[in-house]
Amino acid sequence: MAAPPILLLQDIRLGFGTTPLLAGATLSVSPGERLALIGRNGSGKSTLMKIAAGLVQADGGTRFVQPGATLRYLEQEPDLGGFANVLAYVEAGLAPGDDPYRARYLLEQLGLSGEEAPATLSGGEARRAALARAMAPTPDILLLDEPTNHLDLPAIEWLEQEIGAMRSALVLISHDRRFLETMTREMVWLDRGTTRRLARGFAHFEEWRDTVLEQEEQEAHKLDRQIAREEDWMRYGVTARRKRNVRRVAELAGLRQQRRERRAAQGGVRMAVAEGEGSGTLVAAADNVSKSYGDRTVVRDFSTRILRGDRVGIVGPNGAGKTTLLSMLTGTLPPDSGEIRLGTGLAMVTLDQRREALDPNTTLSEALTGRRGDQVWVNGQPRHVIGYMKDFLFLPEQARTPVSALSGGERGRLLLARAFATPSNLLVLDEPTNDLDLETLDLLQEQIADYSGTVIVVSHDRDFLDRVATNVIAWEGDGRWQDYAGGYSDMVAQRGHGVRARAEPARGGAAPSAAPKPAPAVPPAARKKLSFKDQHELETLPARMRKLEAEAAKLKEILADADLYSRDRARFDKATELLGKTETALAEAEERWLELEMLREELEG
């Protein structure tokens, strides 16, 4: 029998203006469930999540949370105002009895010390602090809205392991396919204000969604045909049977009302890349190029060849120098040494991850036309800006909307619309998948696949790289970069591991000069004290060892019964197995405690 839900939203209704955003949505979360909340940008996913968190009041419907259940919510734009530093903000989310060391551990893993002042944080740092605050208490229900935004690949893979080890129920909004496949076991699809649930993993979602939409289309076709038959009868088949006629007239009115109220599935993004004249066979060549900033070398003696038609992915942790390498390969940044040679006839279009190419004071229409009338030129043909906007899921009434009022996803689509309207044979995409929904990502991948020019892309999206890249340039540490054939998974297979985290220097110090080792992340000689995680482990291990010793003693007492084997063979076998596991765990704990104690003495002495 399934466990009763600890969170239940039922028949949730909410409207903004004349069109309802939520029209009877339902969400049920039982202990330990891992749910993905899927839907288009603007479908109401974040709003439904805020209603679940108790931050937004619905117009109708019911919200129920089991008494005593703890719930934590990661919002997209956290407010750290009123806190002295980041650690105080995270610790404020802890409840009595929660482990205070977990706050420091999570911040350390997410690249924050805890001493940062909230006013000095970037948007990405504030999001990482909010993620630490949500996860620190290990709540019964964890609501995460785009947790991988502003995280690099090592942090995303660490987050997968950390959440996987938690006992919390999970409701997740994300556009990272690989993350969804790893973290969730059931899907809740929010579409046109209502929800549907699939008790299978994300790998089955798109096939199921397409089946549902196909069935809807068939039912709509049947309804239209039935209305046509009834209208034909109204015109030619009226008889003296008044009662039946009145009933049929009423039924026809009902059918017409049903068709008026039917919310059609939202159309897809229609992308077409405006391609320029072909470039030469060689697009870019790097010969032993290096680049340094102060004492830190971000690119060291790197060589590669990029040919026409290549799709090159660049991967590495935040701060490794991906954007620097990209700028060198496209000729916008000169190397300190070595040579960069660019091919002939290049027409380059760049998609900037920071959206800096958008003037927040212009309107959506002006951003597309360049303030030159109401026409957009695509592949040498003029198109009215309203029609081109519709291709990227913008409504006609949004034409005069300021860019500053657009959501992150809408700004991403606007940049794609501008980039694809410009003739090019070289697309340079710096984090193009940020804030894009799954359908838009699918179409972007298809356009890149059909594009006859060359593509260079920086991305933390593993699935996107697997679908798009023909080769991957990966950071190896100490300014070294290596070219691998294939996508991200192919790179992992060739090198034996994914992208590792960059070892951070001491605050205010120089960057490390050697590639980071898997463990420890910082060499003991460079440490001044144990990490928060190691300190916590050192303090808690003695209690764990005492507990294991007590368990082993109890099992030995049971096995001391000379008649146990003949009287209860099953109990004897079970006790023997448990004793072996307990003694192994005790030996490992003692060895780990000794290792940490020696490390502490070395650092202090």
- Assess whether pLDDT exceeds 70 at residue 253: no
181 burial class (0-12, 13-18, 19+ CB within 10 angstroms)?
A: middle
**Whether 538 and 490 share a structural domain:** no
Residue 536 has what pLDDT?
A: 75
Q: Where are the beta strands (DSSP E) in 414-463?
A: 426-430, 454-458
Residue 479 sits in the same domain as residue 559:
no
In a domain, 93, yes or no: yes
Q: Give residue-wise pLDDT tens across range 42-64.
A: 788 989 999 999 999 999 999 99
Q: Residues in the chain, how many?
A: 605
Mean pLDDT, all residues of the chain: 81
Q: Out of 176-185, 505-514, 592-601, which region has the weakest mean confidence (pLDDT)? A: 505-514
| Range ranked top by mean pLDDT from 5-9, 14-18, 211-215, 371-375 | 5-9
Q: Which of 132-136, 496-500, 558-562 is most confident?
A: 132-136
Strand-by-strand arrangement of the 282-293 sheet:
296-307, 282-293, 337-342
pLDDT at 579: 86
Do 437 and 539 have their domain in common? no
> Which value, to the nearest 10 degrees, does the dihedral of the CA atoms of residues 565, 568, 573, 579 take?
-80
Question: Is the backbone of residue 97 left (phi > 0), alpha (psi -120 to 50) or beta?
Answer: left
Residues 159 and 75 in one domain: yes
pLDDT at 510 over 80: no
Query: Is 486 in contact with 472 (CB distance < 8 Å)?
Result: yes
The full 3-state SS of 16-48, as one line of letters, equals ECCEEEEEEEEEEECCCCEEEEECCCCCCHHHH
Within this chain, do residues 536 and 483 fall inside the same structural domain, yes or no? no
Evaluated on CA atoms 483, 485, 489, 492, the torsion sign reads negative
Residue 471 structure tokens: 């080769």
For residue 336, CA distances in Å to 245, 293, 295, 474 come to 87, 10, 13, 20
For residue 263, tell me if it sits in a domain. no
In a domain, 428, yes or no: yes
Place of tokens 């790893």: 182
Q: Among 206, 234, 255, which residue terminates a domain?
A: 206
Q: Are 348 and 419 in contact (CB under 8 A)?
A: no
**458 and 548 fall within a common domain:** no
Same domain, 445 and 573: no
Taking the C-alpha atoms of residue 109 and residue 114, their distance in angstroms, rounded to an integer, is: 11
The alpha helices in 74-122, defined as continuous H runs, are: 86-91, 100-109
Domain boundary among 187, 206, 225: 206
Report how far residue 374's alpha carbon sits from residue 362's, in angstroms, rounded to the nearest whole number. Answer: 14
Examine the domain organization and report whether 80 and 155 are in the same domain. yes
User: Angle, to 10 degrees, between the axis of helix 123-135 and the axis of helix 153-164?
Assistant: 10
- Domain annotation covers residue 119: yes
**Taking residues 114-134, what's their average pLDDT?**
88
Q: Helix axis angle, 438-450 relative to 408-421, nearest 10°?
A: 20
Same domain, 127 and 70: yes
Q: Structure tokens of 65? A: 């949370």
Give the confidence band of 486 by pLDDT, cuts at 50, 70, 90.
confident
Q: Which tokens is 60 given?
A: 């109708």
Q: Which pLDDT tens digit goes with each residue over 518-543?
A: 333 344 444 456 676 777 778 888 88
Identify whether residues 341 and 481 lie together within a single domain.
yes
**CA 518 distance to own-chain centroid:** 24
pLDDT at 239 over 60: no
Residue 511 in this model has a pLDDT that exceeds 70: no
* Domain membership flag for residue 63: yes
Q: What residues contact residue 284 under an 8 Å CB cut-off, 6+ apart?
A: 304, 305, 306, 329, 330, 331, 340, 341, 342, 343
Which one of 447-451, 464-468, 583-587 scores highest in mean pLDDT?
A: 464-468
Lowest-pLDDT choice from 261-270, 305-314, 448-457, 539-548: 261-270
pLDDT higher than 80, residue 343: yes
Considering the domain architecture, whether residues 20 and 99 belong to the same structural domain is answered as yes
Residue 137's domain is classified under what CATH number? 3.40.50.300
H or E element, residue 273 = none
| Number of structural domains in the chain | 3
Which residues, listed in sequence order, are joined to residue 293 by a DSSP beta bridge?
296
**Domain's final residue, options 206, 225, 257:** 206
Rg value, the chain, Cα: 29
Please name the residue that has the structure tokens 């038959």: 229
Mean pLDDT of 410-414: 78
Q: Give a yes or no: residue 524 inside a domain.
A: no
Return phi, psi of residue 197, to 5°: -120, 140
CB 9 within 8 A of CB 52: yes
Question: What domain range is 78 assigned to?
Answer: 7-206
Please identify which residue in the block is written with the tokens 């059931």. Answer: 186
- Other beta carbons within 10 angstroms of residue 190's beta carbon come to 23
The counts of H helices and E strands in the chain are 18, 20
Annotated binding site for ATP: 39-46, 316-323
Same domain, 540 and 483: no
Q: For residue 573, how many other CB atoms are within 10 A of its CB?
A: 11
pLDDT at 72: 94
Cis-peptide into 78, omega within 30 deg: no
Domain-located, residue 526: no
Question: What digits encode the pLDDT tens for the residues 274-309?
Answer: 544 556 788 899 999 999 988 889 999 999 999 988
Residue 557 lies in a domain: yes
